[in-house]
Structure 1
Amino acid sequence: MTGELWWVPSAIVLGVVCVVVALLVGLARRRTSARERALAEATAERSRVASIALVRADDLVEANADELAFAVAQFGEGATRDFAAALALSTRQLKEAFALQQKLDDGIPDSETERRRWTEQIAQLADEATTRLQAQTRDFSSRRGLERDAPLLLEKLQRRLDRVADRVAAGAASLARLSRTYSASALASIGDNAGRAQAALGEAHAATDAAAAQLAADTARPVGDQLQAAEHGLFRAGKLLDAIETGEDRLHLGFAALARALDAADVELAEARTLRDAHEEPDARVDLNRVIAEADAALGELRRSARLSDPAADLAGLRETMDGLDVIRSDARNRQLRLDNARGALSGALLAVRSQLTVTRDFITGQPGQVGADARTRLAESERQLTLALAETDPVAALDGARRAMTLATDADALARFDVR
């Protein structure tokens, strides 16, 4: 009886385990099935998109074959060579795409990986062919519009030629005027712009003359290339002339900045001269004299009336000169400040060492025979250092001597009191 009861809980546990396993297996199968359905749907969508792209590209190739024939008749084979090459390449890509589509449609089983790869290749080939041919179609549509409006465009170009010719003359006059103020290095970036603009204008003139002659002859030959050449020539001339105007503004701004920098340099030089005249150290005055003379010479050269300026280079050179002056001036200021500070501290140091010497001397004198030679030696050296400090003309050296005397005096006092104890 007991054995039978023992098997009852075991059976229940086993049943629960089986149920759980069955649930897990069912859930895994449902998840796998859901993934498979999602993957199949994605593959079907990619296949649909690729088929649409393939059909669109095939229609476009057919249409562009006729378009190319019309373009050759209108513009000639030379002007349509790129169009023909684009059509040939797109046709080859389309054949490759159809071959891949056939592999997808035949009865031979394909793996899912192969079907995805071939579908992506079909879409890519069709899109590339479509994009290439659409670009060519837009280009030749633009050319046809250009040919259609050629008389009006030619008239506008001829009016622009006159305006640009006036600008070329003004640009040449500006460069001539600038050359009287600025050096060749300052004008290097724009110095030959008027000549280059004149050459570009000449090319534009030649192109418009050729287009006008062709239109006057009433031939079927296109004039779009001549009109575009004229447009490009006018564009290049305009950019070159714009650069002259921009360069002139830049030079004038630089020249004004140089004038302000020269005025500021005058102020710095005046401060340097004041410092030199008041400085106590001969070496510092010599150094200041040297950099002041260099700065004076540099400013004089920059202000020379007949001199041609390069504002950017002149500003850089002036700044370098004034930086050298500033280094020496700062050093001289620090040295003078050190002297002034030492002079201010010296009187206090002398008062302190004299007081300490008096205290120490009185203590030793009041203890005859009890203070040893060490204390008395330091006292004597302290008095000697004080004498040297009083005779020193350099306040820094005098302060150092007074401080040495103070150290010796305090040492002498400590040794004396130790001897007495």
Structure 2
Amino acid sequence: MTDALWWLPSVIVLGVVVAAIALAVSASRRKARGIRAAENAEIAERARTAAISLVRADDLIEAATDELGFAIAQFGERATADFAAALDVSKRQLREAFALKQKLDDGVPDTDTQTRQWTEQITRLADEATNRLNAQTREFDTKRVVEQNAPLQLEQLRRRLDRATDRLAGGAATLDRLATTYSASALAAISGNVQRARAAIDEGRRAADAADARLAAGATEPVGDQVSAAEHGLFTATTLLDAIETGEDQLHVAFASLGTALAGAETELAEARALRDRHEESETSTELNRVIADADTVVAELRRPGRVSDPAADLARLREALDGLDVTRSEARNRQLRLDNAREAFVGARLAARSQIGITRDFITANRGRVGADARTRLAEAERQLTLAEVEADPVTALDAARRAMTHATDADALAHYDAP
């Protein structure tokens, strides 16, 4: 019996494998159905959104068409040209969107990619048309508010124009006062502001008068443009008059900065004169004297009584003069420092050279018959260089000579010891 059922284990294994494969295939199918369901849900949601946008845009175009007729009657075709153009563009976009919707709804099968692209395009076209018309509608709503409030707004504008007119005299007085302290170049940015402000006020009044005339005559033409022109004139005049006050503050601050800079220049000049007077190099003192004189001239000019100032230009001129002074003074300090350092170093170098010369001279004297000419020659040169160093007035040159003396004395000592080991 055992021999007869030898095939049974194989059958069991095969059954297990088949069952596993069946389970895997079933799971894969369930997953695929889930993915497809999610995709279908997304497509359905996109289609719903597109349909809502399309209906909203269609309703708005109908309403905007009526709104445009009202706007033309109230404001005229010229003032509503942009509105009409926007409506035409929105209508073209809506026709394109309806054509895409028809392609989705006809009996021709569409791929998922086509459905997604066309649905997104419908939503975009409808939303753009809606946003464009909403912007135009809001603009004309604002214009209507302006027309409704025009009488009160014109009354307020006239009072503000009157106040701006009252400021003209103060602005002119400020400019006259500033002209006694500051030059024409300093006042150039604001010198014509009173005249320009007066012209702007006059333009504002003319616009307000035109609007009042239309309102008084009961004309149907809108007055919004005239109100805007009056507001612009008022704004321009106010800005110009404010600039006079701001300019005055800025000039006073700059003038105070100039005074501080001139006080600082006096200190720098005093330091430069002290350096010139104690400097050991005549050439450097001469150069210092030149830049001091140039800076002195600038400072004296800027301090001249009764002089009108351009603080910005004056500060730049003073800074240029002081920059030249700073450069020359820095170079002079470096040269003087070099002299001072050389003088200090010379003391040690001279002592070292004198000591080495004495030691070498004593060794040669003690070994007269054994030390040759080379050592004696180096020693003689060392003594000569030391003599030159001690009589040299220039500390740098003296230091160099003392160092050469030390070098020759050291060479002489080495040669002498070589000759007389």
TM-score when normalising by structure 1: 0.93
Task: Tell me what 2:339 maps to.
Answer: 339
TM-aligned CA deviation for residue 216 of structure 1: 2.0
Task: Tell me what 2:158 maps to.
Answer: 158
Task: Tell me what 2:115 maps to.
Answer: 115
TM-aligned CA deviation for residue 30 of structure 1: 4.5
Paired AA for residue 298 in structure 1: V
Per-residue CA deviation, residues 38-81 of structure 1 (Å, 9 max, x unaligned), is: 33222222221111111111111111111111112222222222
Task: Tell me what 1:204 maps to.
Answer: 204
Paired AA for residue 297 in structure 2: A
Per-residue CA deviation, residues 263-298 of structure 1 (Å, 9 max, x unaligned), is: 100100000001101111101100100000110111
Does the C-alpha gap of structure 1 residues 175 and 31 become closer, same or farther in structure 2, counting only changes over 3 Å? farther
Task: Tell me what 1:275 maps to.
Answer: 275
Task: Tell me what 1:244 maps to.
Answer: 244
Q: Quick one: distance in 2 between partners of 1:77 and 1:53? A: 30
Q: How does 1:31-70 map to 2 (within 5 A)?
A: 31-70=31-70
For the pair 1:178 / 2:206, whether they are aligned, the reply is no
Q: What is the root-mean-square deviation in Å for CA atoms of aligned residues?
A: 2.4
Q: Quick one: distance in 2 between partners of 1:262 and 1:118? A: 76
TM-aligned CA deviation for residue 415 of structure 1: 1.4
Q: How does 1:68-147 map to 2 (within 5 A)?
A: 68-147=68-147
Task: Tell me what 2:408 maps to.
Answer: 408
Q: Quick one: distance in 2 between partners of 1:300 and 1:9? A: 121
Where does the alignment leave 5 or more consecutive residues of structure 1 unmatched?
Answer: none
Does the C-alpha gap of structure 1 residues 154 and 6 become closer, same or farther in structure 2, counting only changes over 3 Å? same
Q: Quick one: distance in 2 between partners of 1:407 and 1:23? A: 103
TM-score when normalising by structure 2: 0.93
Does the C-alpha gap of structure 1 residues 14 and 241 become closer, same or farther in structure 2, counting only changes over 3 Å? farther
TM-aligned CA deviation for residue 243 of structure 1: 2.1
Task: Tell me what 1:324 maps to.
Answer: 324
Q: How does 1:309-388 map to 2 (within 5 A)?
A: 309-388=309-388
Does the C-alpha gap of structure 1 residues 371 and 137 become closer, same or farther in structure 2, counting only changes over 3 Å? same
Q: Quick one: distance in 1 between partners of 2:168 and 2:375? A: 97
Partner secondary structure for residue 174 of structure 1: helix
For the pair 1:261 / 2:261, whether they are aligned, the reply is yes
Partner secondary structure for residue 141 of structure 1: helix
Paired AA for residue 116 in structure 1: R
Per-residue CA deviation, residues 14-33 of structure 1 (Å, 9 max, x unaligned), is: 87776776666555544444
Counting aligned pairs with the same residue, the percent is 65
Does the C-alpha gap of structure 1 residues 6 and 386 become closer, same or farther in structure 2, counting only changes over 3 Å? farther
Q: Quick one: distance in 2 between partners of 1:139 and 1:285? A: 77
TM-aligned CA deviation for residue 127 of structure 1: 1.0
TM-aligned CA deviation for residue 10 of structure 1: 8.7
Per-residue CA deviation, residues 178-215 of structure 1 (Å, 9 max, x unaligned), is: 23322333233323222222221111000111112222
10-19 vs 389-398, which deviates more? 10-19
Does the C-alpha gap of structure 1 residues 59 and 318 become closer, same or farther in structure 2, counting only changes over 3 Å? same
How many pairs were matched up?
419
Q: Quick one: distance in 2 between partners of 1:195 and 1:15? A: 106
Paired AA for residue 70 in structure 2: F
TM-aligned CA deviation for residue 364 of structure 1: 0.8
Q: Quick one: distance in 1 between partners of 2:367 and 2:18? A: 114
Where does the alignment leave 5 or more consecutive residues of structure 2 unmatched?
Answer: none
Paired AA for residue 345 in structure 1: A
Per-residue CA deviation, residues 342-372 of structure 1 (Å, 9 max, x unaligned), is: 1122222211111111111001110122112
Q: Quick one: distance in 2 between partners of 1:397 and 1:7? A: 119
Per-residue CA deviation, residues 155-175 of structure 1 (Å, 9 max, x unaligned), is: 101101101112233223323
Q: Quick one: distance in 1 between partners of 2:26 and 2:387? A: 110
Task: Tell me what 2:217 maps to.
Answer: 217
Partner secondary structure for residue 185 of structure 1: helix
Q: Quick one: distance in 2 between partners of 1:376 and 1:11? A: 122
Partner secondary structure for residue 186 of structure 1: helix
